Amino acid sequence: MIEEHQIKYRGAEGIPVIRASEAKRLNTGTWRIFKPVRNEKCIKCRLCWQLCPENAVGLDKDGRPEFDYEICKGCGICAVNCLVKAIEMERDLHGKDLPKVQK
């Protein structure tokens, strides 16, 4: 929960507005079902970094994408738009087992 003293911006009629760059406080990554994983095909084009709507893609010291799984919601925009298919979406269970299907 965001405390009153943490709110820096207010929208219409005083409604708090959270900027994407501050979304990390919300830990929205727990909503994710799939997570992006980079493979060795990456050519450092940075398209995934530019297109991520949550600003969850950073760049490592070599300029390759790194995913911030605390805020990544697993939308897959990065994987769909990767020019060389260097990002794959993998199932992310957050350490939980899938429920058993009863027959």
CATH no. for residue 32? 3.30.70.20
**Per residue in 1-31, is it b (16+ CB within 10 Å) or e — as a string?**
eeeeeeeeeeeeeeeeeeeeebbeeeebbee
**Is residue 30 a part of any domain in this protein?**
yes
Question: Structurally, how many domains does the chain consist of?
Answer: 1
Confidence of residue 58 (pLDDT cuts 50, 70, 90): very high
Measured from the Cβ of residue 79, the count of other Cβ atoms closer than 10 Å reads 20
pLDDT band at 15 (very low <50, low <70, confident <90, very high): low
| pLDDT of res. 35 | 93
Residue-range definition of the domain harbouring residue 59: 20-91
User: Is residue 99 included in any domain, yes or no?
Assistant: no
pTM exceeding 0.85? no
